[in-house]
């Protein structure tokens, strides 16, 4: 499989839940730029099913979460979200598969 690397710079104000989700059309990881936040994992899309938090401090790169690829080119992750404890900036690094490169 071959990929195109893309980067998205995100900002969220203090005390923001940035949406619990589990599907992406790419493989992702995150690097904290400013402020303090958390990557959170959940059992379901409900906030009260929190199972894991990874503290994101400036300069920290989140380890890749395990994911599986689906039959239409997407990637299934554990339910997760970014949470901003303070005003935060972080970089989302995305690996997008080239069309037709799925095994
Ligand atoms: Fe995500």
How many angstroms is it from 9 CA to the middle of ligand 1?
Answer: 14
In this predicted structure, what is the pLDDT of residue 80? 98
| 99 lies in some domain | no
What are 42-81's pLDDT values in tens digits? 999 999 999 999 999 999 999 999 999 887 779 999 999 9
| 97 lies in some domain | no
How many angstroms is it from 6 CA to the middle of ligand 1?
Answer: 14
Quick one: how far is CA 29 from the chain centroid?
Answer: 5
| 100 lies in some domain | no
| 102 lies in some domain | no
| 79 lies in some domain | yes
How many structural domains compose the chain?
A: 1
Find tokens 């409900």 and name the residue.
Answer: 46
Q: Are 21 and 75 in contact (CB under 8 A)?
A: no
In this predicted structure, what is the pLDDT of residue 40? 98
How many angstroms is it from 23 CA to the middle of ligand 1?
Answer: 7
Residue 14: which domain range?
3-59+67-90
In this predicted structure, what is the pLDDT of residue 76? 95
| 98 lies in some domain | no
| 26 lies in some domain | yes
Q: Does 101 have pLDDT greater than 90?
A: no
How many angstroms is it from 103 CA to the middle of ligand 1?
Answer: 22
| Tokens at 40, concatenated | 């959170």
In this predicted structure, what is the pLDDT of residue 103? 53
Q: Does 102 have pLDDT greater than 60?
A: no
Which burial class, exposed, middle or buried, applies to 18 when counting CB atoms under 10 A from its CB (0-12, 13-18, 19+)?
Answer: middle
């Amino acid at each position: 499989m071959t990929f195109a690397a893309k980067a998205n710079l995100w900002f969220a104000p203090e005390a923001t839940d940035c949406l619990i989700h589990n599907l992406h059309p790419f493989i992702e990881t995150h690097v904290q730029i400013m402020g303090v936040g958390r990557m959170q994992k959940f059992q379901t899309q409900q906030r009260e099913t929190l199972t894991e938090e990874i503290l994101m401090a400036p300069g920290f790169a989140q380890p890749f979460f395990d994911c599986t690829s689906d039959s239409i080119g997407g990637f299934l992750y554990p339910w997760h979200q970014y949470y901003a404890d303070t005003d935060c900036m972080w970089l989302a690094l995305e690996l997008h598969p080239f069309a037709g490169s799925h095994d």
